[in-house]
């Protein structure tokens, strides 16, 4: 997919993986209604829908910034290994070109390429020059020993914990400006320290939403919070508010888990919120 320019910021989506999503697992309470109401979003005879895992390379204020790092190279249960290394290469971007890695949150499909295993099978940071920007509340929540040691959280040990003593983490707290164009927007619910990234540059606006929404069906049903949401009531509120903000001011909407193209606008049509690709 091509890059888009918002003011003085270039945004390039880079697909790590396109996976199949089972609404009965992802949205158990709403799956029957979802399958009945959105048959055109079913892309597999087993009644599965698509879920992209997309990272973004931003060029802003002279820096090359990677937002989220996908599933990573390791095979994990329920997921294929990611391809971000290849899609970066195809776009002419080397790991050493990345100045900053920014995490919207610390889930398994957002931290994967932080590290790769070396010859001894030990995790090594994949981006040799990058500093890692992480929200302090998000770090505090996931890096408690009981979370790190929880079955299914091996990604924390492999992809997040190795950053601890690297001297390369920069912590932020909520809605702080990141540079002259980028600002964190607190969008809690999916995880406690989840943030979106607001782009405000030369009179243009966009929002890179992270996991505020996983699926365009949520435009009609913002209360359909998926299983991984830590606080499904808060996430539903956050989702509804961000949809409305985007529909109200026309900011560009960048949603890495949505079907391609993942960049467009939310508009109101006949009283409904609708996604229009750029």
How far are the Cα atoms of 105, 108, 140, 205 from residue 70, in angstroms, in the given order? 11, 8, 21, 25
Please report whether residue 138 would count as binding Zn ion according to CB under 5 A. Answer: no
**109 counts as binding Zn ion under rule CB under 5 A:** yes
**Site residue total, Zn ion (CB under 5 A):** 2
In whole angstroms, the minimum distance from the beta carbon of 13 to Zn ion comes to 14
Shortest Cβ 100–Zn ion spacing (Å): 20
Q: Looking at beta carbons only, is 17 or 252 nearer to Zn ion?
A: 17
Shortest Å distance, C-beta 136 to Zn ion: 20
Taking CB under 5 A as the criterion, the residue among 16, 138, 211, 229 binding Zn ion is 211
Choices 72-80, 106-114, 137-145, 267-275; region in contact with Zn ion by CB under 5 A: 106-114
CB of 46 to Zn ion, least distance (A): 22
CB 51 to Zn ion: min, Å: 8
Q: Which stretch binds Zn ion (CB under 5 A): 85-93, 102-110, 117-125, 137-145?
A: 102-110
> Can you give the binding site for Zn ion, defined by CB under 5 A?
109, 211
């Amino acid at each position: 997919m091509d890059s888009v320019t918002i003011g003085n910021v270039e945004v390039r989506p880079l697909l790590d993986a396109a996976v199949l999503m089972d609404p009965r697992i992802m949205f158990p309470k709403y799956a029957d209604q979802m399958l009945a109401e959105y048959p055109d979003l079913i892309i597999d005879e087993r009644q599965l829908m698509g879920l992209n895992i997309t990272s973004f390379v931003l060029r802003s204020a002279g820096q090359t910034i990677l937002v989220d790092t996908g599933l990573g190279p390791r095979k994990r249960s329920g997921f294929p290994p990611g391809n971000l290394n290849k899609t970066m290469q195809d776009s002419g971007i080397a790991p050493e070109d990345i100045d900053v890695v920014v995490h919207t949150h610390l889930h398994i499909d957002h931290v994967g390429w932080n590290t790769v295993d070396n010859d001894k099978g030990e995790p090594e940071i994949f981006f040799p020059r990058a500093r890692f920007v992480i929200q302090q509340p998000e770090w505090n929540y996931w890096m408690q020993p009981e979370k790190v040691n929880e079955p299914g959280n091996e990604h924390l040990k492999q992809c997040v914990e190795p950053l601890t003593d690297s001297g390369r983490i920069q912590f932020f707290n909520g809605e702080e400006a990141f540079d002259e164009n980028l600002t964190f927007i607190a969008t809690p619910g999916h995880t406690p320290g989840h943030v979106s990234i607001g782009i405000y540059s030369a009179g243009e606006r966009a929002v890179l939403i992270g996991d505020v929404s996983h699926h365009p069906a949520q435009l009609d049903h913002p209360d359909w919070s998926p299983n991984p949401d830590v606080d499904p009531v808060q996430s539903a509120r956050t989702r509804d508010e961000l949809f409305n903000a985007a529909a109200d001011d026309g900011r560009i909407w960048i949603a890495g888990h949505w079907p391609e193209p993942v960049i467009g606008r939310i508009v109101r049509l006949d009283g409904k919120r609708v996604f229009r690709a750029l």
